[in-house]
A and B are shown apart, each in its own frame.
Chain A
């Protein structure tokens, strides 16, 4: 497992620093990188808000169909990515029954990333929220704290580490997503081409060195995310 990853770094380094920068600052590659990172940030931000809301509704609210919802959350995780792309294409693509033709636009990239990253924040927050005692909230409410204040002062601080680690995972996943985008985004250079697709194009053209350069940049990002996660979890562990 490690040797192959080391090979990526070695091949990337073989071209020298200048070659490395040349590949990364190539117009098309740079456009792909900024698009990917931009959309990933956007999706992660959305996941932080909606994911927390979803977890909240799943834990605190009681209504018919809640357990179905609970299973649906996991679907993007288990669904093959290519099928996820196909599925989204059937609703938001050229043959959409509602006339929503969003495929091959930047919104389609966002849609695919949102689909595959739904479970991360929800699944990170849910167990923490389940263990959270309602006593403190009730005490605060009985002392006259308005709901907004309870959420901000009591609930959010205890959820923050879970939200953080969920967000890191969803960001990492969004950056590296490939399968669901193949069919949906159209992979138009400069417009909807993400980093993974760019890497694959390099590989298919036999330009392994360039592929390795871009891949190593992605590896570094993945590593950073893992380190952040590790630090967050350690801090939580100490507090508990």
Chain B
């Protein structure tokens, strides 16, 4: 009896120890620094925040980020869902390779992604330079290249969400629909897409967060021209290194807000997805 009580006592201590280690680590590494950032942003009152956000470089950076993120999310939505359906529903040669490659952007450095795009699409000696020049398109140091870079890094997030859901729901309903005379488009619109709706939304929110926050790849591709090809994340770096800390903190605060909003949306969506 005494022995089991002692054991329960030591397990209680262990439990508390673990709790303290875990909470302490997360607070010191994540919560406290972010709290401090928020505090610094508002240290001089909200007026400072609005002043910083009225800066023309900041405004153009934010505008560019919104445009790029929206395009990238839209493109990822279409391609992500298409690739997921291909991967789950069809058998073809090279499928395993494709499914492994889809994860590649998650483990490749953004800088390398940027470099890869520069090597292929730059207007001077890129692989596609003649074709691009003939068409009068400038991809690198311009928004198309930045959109491509953002798509590249955010694509796996959509696919990783949609593929498990598609696998799980199976194709019974689709087959039933087809046997009742529905054509491919009808099956897709009425059966497949509604059933993966939540997974798609979840993936889109995650890729939006990633698209807004992309830094390395965009930095390489954009040329970082102030006021023209500088996204919000690049503005943060430029402002900080230019000793305009308040502006850097203000933009960073907005970006933190966006990413936390995305997380909250996801946290709210999760239970709904499980219920359906």
Contact in complex: A5, B33 (CB < 8 Å): no
| Residue A159, interface by CB 8 Å | no
Contact in complex: B120, A7 (CB < 8 Å): yes
A-B interface pairs (CB < 8 A), number = 208
Residues of B with C-beta under 8 A to A176: 107-112
Per-residue interface assignment for chain B, residues 29 to 48, with 1 indicating a CB less than 8 Å from any chain A CB and 0 otherwise = 11111101100100000000
B35 to chain A, nearest CB (A): 9
Residues of A with C-beta under 8 A to B100: 226-227, 230
Could you tell me which residues of chain A, from 62 to 91, have a CB within 8 Å of some CB in chain B?
63, 65, 69, 71-76, 78-83, 86-88, 90-91
- Which listed residue, A53, A69, A203, touches B115 by the CB 8 Å rule? A203
| Residue B119, interface by CB 8 Å | yes
A53 to B264, CA, bound (A): 24
Residues of A with C-beta under 8 A to B34: 75, 79, 87
Could you tell me which residues of chain B, from 224 to 268, have a CB within 8 Å of some CB in chain A?
233-234, 236-237, 240-241, 248-249, 252, 255-256, 259-260, 262-264, 266-267
Q: Which of A15-23, A129-137, A178-186 contacts B (4 or more CB under 8 A)?
A: A178-186
Could you tell me which residues of chain B, from 194 to 218, have a CB within 8 Å of some CB in chain A?
206, 209-210, 212-216
Q: Which of B15-23, B51-59, B174-182 contacts A (4 or more CB under 8 A)?
A: B15-23
Per-residue interface assignment for chain B, residues 69 to 105, with 1 indicating a CB less than 8 Å from any chain A CB and 0 otherwise = 0000000000000000000000000000000110111
Contact in complex: A87, B108 (CB < 8 Å): no
| Residue A160, interface by CB 8 Å | no
| Residue A143, interface by CB 8 Å | no
For chain A, the bracket of interface size reads 35 or more
For chain B, the bracket of interface size reads 35 or more
Residues of B with C-beta under 8 A to A118: 26, 29-30
A96 to B110, CA, bound (A): 29
- Which listed residue, B36, B104, B105, B109, touches A177 by the CB 8 Å rule? B109
Residues of B with C-beta under 8 A to A218: 108-109, 112
- Which listed residue, A1, A72, A196, A230, touches B152 by the CB 8 Å rule? A1
Contact in complex: A172, B233 (CB < 8 Å): no
- When C-beta atoms are compared, the residue in chain A nearest to B148 turns out to be A4
- When C-beta atoms are compared, the residue in chain B nearest to A111 turns out to be B29
Residues of A with C-beta under 8 A to B11: 147
Given A8-B115, A78-B262, A211-B115, check contact A115 B109 (CB 8 Å). no
| Residue A48, interface by CB 8 Å | no
B155 to chain A, nearest CB (A): 8
A178 to B124, CA, bound (A): 27
Per-residue interface assignment for chain A, residues 23 to 54, with 1 indicating a CB less than 8 Å from any chain B CB and 0 otherwise = 00000000000000000000000000010011
Given A72-B31, A90-B37, check contact A175 B109 (CB 8 Å). yes
**B interface with A by C-beta (< 8 Å):** 11, 14-15, 18-19, 21-23, 25-26, 29-34, 36-37, 40, 100-101, 103-121, 127, 152, 155, 206, 209-210, 212-216, 219-220, 233-234, 236-237, 240-241, 248-249, 252, 255-256, 259-260, 262-264, 266-267
Known: A82-B234, A169-B107, A225-B107. 18 other contacts (CB 8 A): A7-B120, A8-B116, A50-B21, A61-B18, A71-B267, A74-B266, A78-B259, A79-B213, A81-B213, A81-B215, A83-B255, A86-B236, A90-B33, A91-B33, A91-B36, A179-B215, A183-B240, A222-B107
